Amino acid sequence: MKCYNIPILGLLIKFANAYVLDGRPEYTTRIAPNTLWLECIFKDVFYAALMSLAAMALTAIIGFNFSPSSVISDVFPDFIGFALGAYALTFLLPYSIPDHVFKENESLLKSLPFNFGYPLSLIVVVLLLNSIFKPSEPGLLFNFIFGTAMFYCFILVIEIIELVGNLGRSIVSHRMDDASAPSKDDNKRD
């Protein structure tokens, strides 16, 4: 797909397409249907835009200082560190999960690189764009655009936390099931 050849943007499109398609291999040959894009990405972008508008309204009403640019500069490097650390831990999963558990969660694990890759790449690009286009006196449009990007990246980080939690829950529950299941030696005694 030609759009994948565009520097930076092509990578984002590829990761987003794979994210929308849950890591299915056809992400390399076709763009996901619009309904999946709406459900997986644009719905959350819409909610992020509403949160940005609400923050801007609070700024106007009560003098709350809404500065998405400073939040992006201060917090996003920590997001990147957290996500990279969580992603690195997932590389240990194949060695710590029994084969039957791995097979039961295969679809979740196949999409894992893109469930981390898309948010990480987007957070890095937003941080880069914020650094490049950071005006000394940001206007309403700048605050809205970067506020929406900031809130959307917050949503993506929450999704990463949820993913790590679900993986952990799955591993622990299977470990507990394995521990409580009678062993072959127990069956021989009966």
Mean pLDDT of the chain: 84
pLDDT at 187 over 60: no
Cβ atoms of 57 and 144 closer than 8 Å: no
Tell me which residue range forms the domain holding 135: 37-176
78 or 110, which is more confident? 78
Is 29 part of any domain? no
Q: Distance between the two ends of the chain, CA-based, in angstroms?
A: 62
Predicted confidence band of residue 180 (pLDDT cuts 50, 70, 90): confident
Cα atoms in the Cβ-side hemisphere of radius 13 Å centred on 149 = 24
44 assigned to some structural domain? yes
Q: Is residue 52 part of a domain?
A: yes
Give Cβ neighbours of residue 13 (< 8 Å, ≥ 6 apart).
3, 4, 6
Rounded to an integer, the average pLDDT of 20-48 is: 92
Q: Are 90 and 110 in contact (CB under 8 A)?
A: no
For the residues 30-47, what does the mean pLDDT come to? 95
What is the number of structural domains in the chain?
Answer: 1
Mean pLDDT, rounded, for 100-115: 71
Higher pLDDT, 134 or 95: 134
Q: For residue 74, is it within any domain?
A: yes
Please state, in angstroms and rounded to a whole number, the distance separating the CA atoms of residues 16 and 10: 10
